[in-house]
Amino acid sequence: TERTLILVKPDGVERGLTGEILRRVEAKGYRIAELKQLNASTEQLAAHYAEHEGKPFYQPLMDFMLSGPVVAAVIEGDRVIEGFRSLAGTTDPTTAAPGTIRGDLGRDWGEKVQKNLVHGSDSVESAEREIGIWFA
C-alpha cells in the first residue's frame, strides 16, 4: 500500500467543496488515514512549495494559500499517488477533463494564481516529505 498527502486549498474550503472532494476520494476506494483543517503557516508553505521559489506565480500562490484555511489529509491505497492525481485532473482547471475534481468543480477566475481546489503529492519521495510538513 502507498500514502499520499492531499490538500483542499482555500478555494475548495471557502466554496464548501471539502465534503464533495473527500467523497470522491472515498468513492474511489481510498482510506482517509489522517485529516485536519488548519491555517497554513508561511514556513509550512515555503517548505511545501520550495521547488517553485523564484517562479512568477510563487508569491500569488503563497498569498492564495494563506488566504483561508486548508484541509490536509493523508490517504492510503495501492497506487494512490497516481490515482489521486488522476482524480484531481490537470493543473489548469479551465481545461482539466470533465469527470475530474478540477474539471468538474474548477475554472479560472481572472487571477494570477490558478485556483485549482486541490493538491496531491507527485511521487513517493514528495509524499513522505509533504506528510512530514503537514503532519509533523
Grid cell for residue 16: 464548501
Least Cβ distance, residue 88 to ligand ATP (angstroms): 7
Residue 102 is assigned to a ligand binding site = yes
> Which residue has cell 499517488?
81
Q: CA 113, CA 93: separation in Å to the nearest integer? A: 11
x/- binding map, residues 2-41, to ligand ATP, per CB under 6 A? ----------------------------------------
Name the residue with the smallest CB distance to ligand ATP. 91
48 is catalytic: no
User: Of 10, 119, 133, 134, which residue is the catalytic one?
Assistant: 119
> Which residue has cell 482539466?
96
Residue 90 is assigned to a ligand binding site = no
Asked if 73 and 32 touch (Cβ cutoff 8 Å), the reply is: yes
Residue 67 or 90 with smaller CB distance to ligand ATP = 90
Residues of span 36-95 touching ligand ATP by CB under 6 A: 57, 61, 90-91
Residues of span 95-124 touching ligand ATP by CB under 6 A: 113-114, 116, 119, 122
Q: CA 50, CA 3: separation in Å to the nearest integer? A: 21
Q: CA 104, CA 55: separation in Å to the nearest integer? A: 28
Q: CA 59, CA 53: separation in Å to the nearest integer? A: 8
Grid cell for residue 7: 490538500
Please give the positions annotated as active site: 119
Residues found near ligand ATP in the complex (CB under 6 A): 57, 61, 90-91, 113-114, 116, 119, 122
